[in-house]
Amino acid sequence: MSTTTETSRPALTILSEDEIAFRDAVAGFATDEVKPRVQQMEKAGKIDPALIRQYFEMGLMGIEVPEQYGGSAGSCTMVAIAVEEISKVDAAAAILVDVQNTLVNYPISRYGSDALKAKYLTRLTSDTIGAYALSEPGSGSDAFGMVTRAEKKGDAWVLNGRKMWITNGAEAGIFVVFATVDASKGYKGITAFVVEREFAGFSVGKKEDKLGIRASSTTELIFDNVEVPAENVLGPVGQGYKVAIETLNHGRIGIGAQMIGVAQGALAAATAYVKERHQFGKSLSEFQGIQFQLAQARTEAEAARLMVYNAARLTDAGHDIAMEGAMAKLFSSQVAERVTSVSLELFGGYGYTTDYPAEKFYRDAKIGAIYEGTSNMQLNTIAKAMLK
């Protein structure tokens, strides 16, 4: 595949011509279709259904899925590109795409039987949103301390328990759910299941009122004797921990992409503002103190971006990226917090109001250090990989 450097912006990352075209198409879509809806979706606490339909029509909800199941047969790098570009405009609109691709399509594609792939990937690429259900009220970072149970009864498994902090929970029709089939075996008793919203006994509970990414739904899931067909087991029974870990490794690239998008969006807004705002007879951009802050922020954002793309490239090449994915997520979330904070300050008092985008970028950045593994858990993963 021929490659070329990006020409539309001074970045170091090398993308193929096809990837550049894809990036530009998503960037244009984000500007034309996502941006006009941001304030309305933020206030409503809900993604516009019309926007979701457009995601499916563009193929953004099945980027890595094989064509035989209705997907685009793309790469992890393309997922990162899409999430990054949408996040420059709205992190909440981007996370819906990210979760669909990295936490739902990925494990079903990798661990699902041919029948499961045919049944669910075709829906996930055409009209159905998915969600990933691992966390519980009492098990966050200690994800495998879950209490949701799955008991075999005849040709089915019966699930009982609760899940918390489920992104896309309000909109999803298909869920990748983790439960233990034998608590005495610890993490080796964890098993993954594909659960449909219509299954009897399944319900969506409380929707959280959050600091940031407010248009993205975060909900509780309730399982009350939910009967799941035996063929809906995802991967071998008792191997759910492996499914969960590998999926989260993949997902951390998406969160990294979200964070570098947020950082770049905030920085672009601040850069434009300091050129327009005048104090002491000249624009803010003429003050060296302002210039140095912008330069530092741009350098950190670009470094984080390269780490995310490196992890994505390694994934596409078939490498284990447990450490690289953790480093990319850790650093990009740290950079997003710093860059959005600086960007808000450059707006002065206006940055603290909802009239300008700085405060939203600032609020949206914080989640990067929390979901899909807190920063402390990323440090733990990195250290273990180093000392292995």
Q: What amino acid positions are annotated as catalytic residues?
A: 372
Q: How many CB atoms sit inside 10 A of residue 50's CB? A: 9
Instruction: Kindly state the tokens that stand for 20.
Output: 């550049």
How many whole angstroms separate alpha carbon 304 and alpha carbon 314? Answer: 16
CB 213 within 8 A of CB 92: yes
CA-closest candidate to residue 216, choices 61, 370, 364: 364
CA–CA dist 308, 304 (Å, integer): 6
